[in-house]
Amino acid sequence: MVSIELKRDRLLMRWKQQKYEWIIEPRYWRNPILWSLLLLVFPLFISGYPNILTMVTMANLYAAITIPLALQMTGTGRMNFGPQFYLGLGGYTSALLNLHLGFTPFFTLLATILICLIIALLLSPITWIAKGLYFSLITLILPLALLDLTYIFSDLFKGEVGLMGMDPIISLGRVTWNYVAYYYFSVFLMLLFLLVAEKISHSRFGLTMASINENEDVALMMGVNVNKYKVFYYVFPSILTGIIGWFIVHTFRTFAGVTYLPLDFMIKMLIIVMIGGRASVYGMIPGAYFVCFLEEILRSIGTSNYFVFPLVLIITLVILPRGEGLYGLYHKRHPRDYFPVMRVRRE
């Protein structure tokens, strides 16, 4: 069936007539392993401060939401103004199924993936029918339509208060241990999404998608099935975002659409992508941590934080180099790497 061979510097996997190769490069693994160890060891020092732990968990979740978003935006070269649509969809699906039908968290995960897959496939024609700007506008409007829908059927969705009391994923004895467990879950999710996104963008799919971004007609002539790639790059990140919705529901155990669906949340996600550096998926992590820490720090200066927060973000955005953001300060982008020009009005 699947045969695996270890050559001198690569791992070869063969399945039927397909060959996959994983080039083993230990010298490039040192930094990611060190950072991952740091993330994993970190909570043992602060397990006495649950609010910092919650904040870092939230930062991990923000990173996990923006990693598929970056994959989608860098992949398709178009702005997606509504990643939170699938967040809300996944969250409400798991919350409702858990509360009313008693599904356990595992089954709500499967249901979330299924529902997000179906709805993303239903909406995927917009990727090839709607030209550039209209695609972005449709994605802008969808979460607001969902929000309106939850207000309309507010007896089901519980309007602004939201749904409460869903089952947790895991319930250890003490509350602090729960927080630590949730932190490790969020780190695991974030690193998993990072690995998947990075492998996709540096594989033949990423290369082909880059050629579609550059010149769609020529790519079509070179044998690329353009629509298939566009649909994949729309559906797959949407499913990943839906999984985060499921995670939020079963970790924080409350879910209100009004927190995640309106424009404020979307701007935060967009800022994380911009400031973190959209040239590379790794950039989402410093971006998310930066925004979360900034929010915490500014919260202490009182109610004026609501307008100082955008001000600080504006200054940061103007100062940082375009596209490389915070991650670019750590690791300069090689000119060889593909960096798509993001055109909102892309055809």
Partner 1 sequence: MLLVKIQSVLVYTFLWGSIYLLISLGFSLICGVLRIFHLGYGVIFVLAAYGTWFFLDAGLGIIPSILLMILLQIVITLLVFYKGIFQRYLEQEEILLTLTMLVFMMVSHLANYLYPVTAGVNLPTTIIDGTFKLGAVRISYQMLFAALVGVLVTGSYILFFLKTRLGLIIRAMSQSTQASLLLGADVNRMYCLAMVLSIIPPTICTLMIAPFWSIDPHMGSSLMMTAMLIAILGGLGNLKGSIISSYLIGFIHASISFFYVSRFMGFGALIITLAVMIFKRGGLFAGETIW
Partner 2 sequence: MLTIKNVTKRFGGLTAVNNISFSIKENEIIGLIGPNGAGKTTLLNLLCGIYKVDSGSIRFQGKEITHLAPNQICHIGISRTYQIPQPFDAMTAIGGVTVAVINGKKRENMTLSDAGLNASYFLEFVGLFGKRDTLAKDLTLYELRMLELARALATSPKLLLLDEAMAGLNPGEAAKALDMVWSAQEQFGVTILWIEHVMKVIMKAADRLVVLQYGEKIDEGKPETVMSNERVIEAYLGGKDAEN
- Per rule CB under 8 A, is residue 10 in the interface with partner 1? no
Stretch that binds partner 1, among 17-25, 32-40, 84-92, 133-141 (CB under 8 A): 133-141
Structural contact between residues 64 and 122, judged by C-beta atoms closer than 8 angstroms = no
E strand segments, 131-196: 163-164
- What the block records as the tokens of 288 is 């998310």
Structural contact between residues 163 and 256, judged by C-beta atoms closer than 8 angstroms = yes
**Going residue by residue from 161 to 200, which x/- string records binding to partner 2, judged by CB under 8 A?**
----------------------------------------
237 vs 286: CA distance, rounded Å:
20
81 vs 185: CA distance, rounded Å:
27
- What the block records as the tokens of 159 is 């309007």
> If we measure between CA atoms, which residue out of 57, 78, 83 comes closest to residue 68?
83
Which residue in the set 143, 283, 328, 340 belongs to the binding site for partner 2 (CB under 8 A)? 340
- Per rule CB under 8 A, is residue 339 in the interface with partner 2? yes
Looking at the Cβ atoms of 13 and 317, the one nearer to partner 2 is 13
Looking at the Cβ atoms of 210 and 312, the one nearer to partner 1 is 312
- What is the closest distance, in whole angstroms, from the C-beta atom of residue 284 to partner 2 in the complex? 21
Which residue in the set 310, 321, 330, 332 belongs to the binding site for partner 1 (CB under 8 A)? 310
- What is the closest distance, in whole angstroms, from the C-beta atom of residue 233 to partner 1 in the complex? 17
Interacting positions 213-232 with partner 2 (CB under 8 A)? 214-215, 217-226
- What is the closest distance, in whole angstroms, from the C-beta atom of residue 340 to partner 1 in the complex? 11
- What is the closest distance, in whole angstroms, from the C-beta atom of residue 316 to partner 2 in the complex? 26
Per-residue DSSP letters for 11-50?
EEEEETTEEEEEE--HHHHHHHHHHHHHHHHTHHHHTT-H
Looking at the Cβ atoms of 60 and 72, the one nearer to partner 2 is 72
> If we measure between CA atoms, which residue out of 213, 281, 279 comes closest to residue 69?
281
- What totals of helices (H) and strands (E) does the chain contain, helices first? 17, 5
- Contact residues toward partner 2 (CB under 8 A) are 10, 14, 17-21, 23, 203-204, 207-208, 210-211, 214-215, 217-226, 335-336, 338-341
